[in-house]
Structure 1
């Protein structure tokens, strides 16, 4: 709103109880704290300088009679009676001042404690921020480790592209794995010359005493053709490759990593 005296815009001021006009504190000639101290009732009847100037003149005060000696003595006696309690009042004031001093010391002590707490809180906040940064770094590192593990798994599986894993073939002392692979090739109608094999060996199968045979082919396409031929024979067994005393299924598959086996089968193999 605008001040009705100077026209300046203001958000907080006073209102005349008579003319109802609004004034800012400088034009009303009263401080903001003074206005607050008036209270609700006194603010409601407060008058601006203009309205106070319009007030009707006070009635003439009759001239008092000159005071008599008797009246003067009475007033002196009354004043002495009032002053009788002055020493007690002085002591009370001293006691109050002492209590105020003690309160001041207590406030200063508490202020020091508050400053200490503020310092400790600032240190804790700094540590929390440091931990938050550390947590973000850990999350980033975990993500990087996850990516590296995935890349290693991909590279590991890629290195096995030419590999075949054969399960179900019993292990014999002094066995010739080339002869075993040749017999499997004959059983599935697929010739496997030694020139197409880099190396072959047995590996332990998880959670069993059985060892499967891993064959690394020189050519990936030869490996794929061999796997396709073996899978076409649904009843391939140990009896087909010369193990007459033992009869069980033989399985020819890609040589998968442990993670790939778990993802493929839903559980470790």
Structure 2
């Protein structure tokens, strides 16, 4: 803490006269703090207060004094500029780095634009694929509906037909005679006048052939099947075949698709402990027990009803 030689007020920061060595605050010295800092060390040491300036006779400036002052200022400037080369090099490096960064940013910007374009293209393709998928789903639905209608039509065309399985093939056989023999055994007369056609049909993955009978009347067909099923032990010996007795089965004539559906129905119904499975009027019926409701399976999706 210093005391001002003019106002006797204590202060922390101020100036000192280079002549009388007295301390003054900035206000009494009539100089600002910024102005004092700008003088530099040499000029600060030569600074004089107002009293010393007025009491000292003017000293003519010599060439030597002027030279010393200039040299001192040059030294100050030199000290201040000593780090200038390094600063210039640093600035050059910064400029180069900024240039590289600019190039990188420009390249990145270009890549981002390209990436945005590619993303837009992918989004358009995804949108097109979604539309195509909707179309495909619609077509699949239409195809499933068409398959169901075709299968239903195919099965309806067989509603007047029965198939007889288990009758051995004989050379020069008379199929009408076989049908007549079965009719006599099951107590249902079936003359030729009620039959549209009768033929042998191959069984898939078998050397055997079943007999398909087409009746002129659906009700005759249903009555014939009912009479045949009432005879639980109908066999080949019952219709005149000699040798080993074989069981004869009389059923609705199912299409290939309906036979596949019947096979799947039997598998699932067995897993779900259903007691009854039968075909009537060309339709597949399932019944879990005598207290449950009859389910009709017309297409594969109906299998989900079996629970």
Q: Same fold (TM over 0.5)?
A: yes
Bigger relative contact order, structure 1 or 2, given CA contacts below 8 A and separation 6+? 1
- Which residue, out of 248, 251, 259, partners 1:250? 248
Which residue in the other structure is 1:61 paired with?
27
Deviations 1:121-161 (A, max 9, x none): 22222222222322332222222222221111111111111
Q: Give 1:176 shift.
A: 1.6
Which residue in the other structure is 2:185 paired with?
187
Which residue in the other structure is 1:23 paired with?
none
Q: Secondary structure at the match of 1:198?
A: strand
Unpaired segments of 5 or more residues in structure 2?
Answer: 1-24, 48-68, 268-307
Residues 1-269 of structure 1 aligned to structure 2 (within 5 Å): 61-64=27-30, 70=46, 77-265=75-263, 266=266
**Alpha-carbon distance in structure 2 between the residues aligned to 1:227 and 1:142:** 38
Query: Which of the two has greater strand per residue?
Result: 2
Of 122-131 and 97-106, the range deviating more from structure 2 = 122-131
Q: Give 1:170 shift.
A: 1.0
Q: Give 1:258 shift.
A: 2.8
**Alpha-carbon distance in structure 2 between the residues aligned to 1:214 and 1:91:** 105
Q: What is the aligned residue count?
A: 209
Change (3 A) 1:84 1:236: closer
Q: Give 1:120 shift.
A: 2.0
Q: Give 1:60 shift.
A: 8.6
Unpaired segments of 5 or more residues in structure 1?
Answer: 1-58
Of 242-251 and 72-81, the range deviating more from structure 2 = 72-81
Q: Give 1:181 shift.
A: 0.9
Of 213-222 and 143-152, the range deviating more from structure 2 = 143-152
**Alpha-carbon distance in structure 1 between the residues aligned to 2:85 and 2:227:** 123
Q: Secondary structure at the match of 1:62?
A: helix
**Alpha-carbon distance in structure 2 between the residues aligned to 1:257 and 1:147:** 17
Deviations 1:203-262 (A, max 9, x none): 112332111100010001111111111111122111111112342111111111233334
Which residue in the other structure is 2:297 paired with?
none
Deviations 1:22-61 (A, max 9, x none): xxxxxxxxxxxxxxxxxxxxxxxxxxxxxxxxxxxxx993
**Alpha-carbon distance in structure 2 between the residues aligned to 1:167 and 1:143:** 36
Q: Give 1:173 shift.
A: 1.5
**Alpha-carbon distance in structure 2 between the residues aligned to 1:248 and 1:91:** 110
* TM-score (norm: length of structure 2): 0.61
**Alpha-carbon distance in structure 1 between the residues aligned to 2:96 and 2:139:** 64
* TM-score (norm: length of structure 1): 0.69
Q: Give 1:82 shift.
A: 0.9
**Alpha-carbon distance in structure 2 between the residues aligned to 1:126 and 1:88:** 56
Q: Give 1:174 shift.
A: 1.9
Larger Rg computed on CA atoms: 2
